[in-house]
Amino acid sequence: MILDHPMNALFPPIVLLALAAALPSASAVTVALSPTQDNAIFQEVPDNSNGAGEFLVVGTRFGAFHRRSLLSFDVAATVPAGATIDAAVLTLQFTTPRNWGSFPVSLHRITTDWEEAGSIGTMGQGFGALALSGDATWSSNVHGTSNWNSAGGDFMFGASATQFIDGNGAYDWNSTTGSVVDVQKWLDSPSQNFGWIVVGDEITDPLEATAKRFHSRENATDQPRLVIEFTPVPEPSSLMLMLASLGLVITRKR
């Protein structure tokens, strides 16, 4: 309690409270991250991938066959350790020669590591190409090395954020409790940072196409972007250091 502290002899409680109120607080900082890797995977061609392609695809094409996309960001390389994540917004550019209508697209936190290599699909990249060593596919998290525990990717069932995609343009997956929790986890435990899997509408009538195509990090324009707002750990101010030194001196004199 302040009344029991030796500094109270020099600083009455109201003065200490005023000094504490004058201490500068940490200000929020905003940073924008590009993906360190991204990829697309395809159910009907489970050994295909689009690791170095210009596009990420999600949803269904020609029946119940699904495609999903993977994104990861190196949060710990930009956000200082110990910071508090306040908001996280993912932006993707939707562009497709044919729009199938408005459908939801969701982000889910991936729970197994994965990689991208140099595969590049043809014909709009909607089916990818035969995976190269190291690519993620529908079957494998690392082609030629290891498989997912569940085909189609290992990820949390609950969506971290969802956005409805319709006409061409940039779309934001606005900050949610789920996306903030994910990014905070990636900051605090970088070894568990496997990014998000982007999942389109896979529930609608299987005869209806719900596919959506987004720019990847290899695209020449409008690459994916994760904007993070965080509060860094406040550094000790000169006033706080002065108060601490005074307390130490007074304690020694007693």
Q: Are residues 21 and 31 in the same domain?
A: no
User: What whole-number distance in Å separates Cα of residue 129 and Cα of residue 23?
Assistant: 58
Q: Are residues 19 and 88 in the same domain?
A: no
Which of the two residues, 66 and 14, has the higher pLDDT score?
Answer: 66
Q: Are residues 142 and 159 in the same domain?
A: yes
Q: What share of the chain is helix, strand, coil (3-state, %, to 5)?
A: 20, 30, 50
pLDDT at 144 over 70: yes
The predicted structure's pLDDT at residue 6 = 46
From 11-15, 26-30, 169-173, 176-180, the region with the lowest mean pLDDT: 11-15
Q: Which domain holds residue 74?
A: 27-233
Say which CATH number the domain at 196 has: 2.60.120
Q: Is the pTM of the predicted complex or chain greater than 0.85?
A: no
Look up residue 246 and give its two tokens: 């005074």
Overall average pLDDT of the 81-86 stretch: 97
User: What whole-number distance in Å separates Cα of residue 174 and Cα of residue 227?
Assistant: 10
State percent of the chain over pLDDT 90: 67
Beta-ladder partners of 7: none
Q: Are residues 193 and 218 in the same domain?
A: yes
Give how far Cα 20 sits from Cα of 182, 227, 248, Å: 33, 32, 17
The predicted structure's pLDDT at residue 250 = 45
Q: Are residues 84 and 44 in the same domain?
A: yes
Domain count, the chain: 2
Tens of pLDDT, residues 210-248: 889 999 999 999 999 999 999 999 876 554 555 555 554
φ, ψ of residue 76 to 5 degrees: the values are: -65, -20
Q: Are residues 139 and 166 in the same domain?
A: yes
